[in-house]
Amino acid sequence: MDIEIGSNLYRNSNGTIEIEGVPQIQVASHPSTGALLVNFALFDLNGRMLAKVVDSTLTFNERRAYELTKTDKSLAIREADSGKIVLTLEAKPPHAVSFTRGEFHTMKGHLLHVSSTEWRIDKQHKSGLTHDAKGGAVSIG
């Protein structure tokens, strides 16, 4: 599976996105329907879990602070009060997923910002990179 993160393309991944060495996002296609399936853990700046998504369903949502919307081909998570986008993923034919917008804390408490042009964690950032994951996880940060 190919994964776009900002303007960066990671080819031939297994669907896992590791952020600062920790698997935080997993994407796959449902075997019979082809629907986008997302697993995701959302943390605060102290590394405490605030929300958890399993197979594109919000299974843990502390204080109902987050809203999830999905279709067969996309998933978005927003802060309920502010409407701020936490994560947006979209399936692209034939076997690619695009993550072009979002902002959330990593498990280590650093802020990850993804825009259409780059991903940024503190002073680290990447833009316009093409990388072959060789069947493994996409690693950023």
Helix (H, G, I), strand (E, B) or coil at 63: helix
Closest CA to 77 of 63, 91, 62, 65: 65
Q: Distance (Å, rounded) from C-alpha 121 to C-alpha 112?
A: 5
Domain boundaries, the chain: 2-134
For the chain, what percentages of helix, strand and coil (3-state, to nearest 5) are there? 0, 60, 40
Terminal alpha carbon distance of the chain: 20
Tens of pLDDT, residue by residue, the chain (141 residues): 999 999 999 999 999 999 999 999 999 999 899 899 999 999 999 999 999 999 999 999 988 999 999 999 999 999 999 999 999 999 998 889 999 999 999 999 999 999 999 999 989 999 999 999 999 999 999
Q: Kindly write down the DSSP assignment for every residue of 114-129, as one continuous string.
A: E-SS-EEETTEEE-S-
**Single pTM value for the model:** 0.94
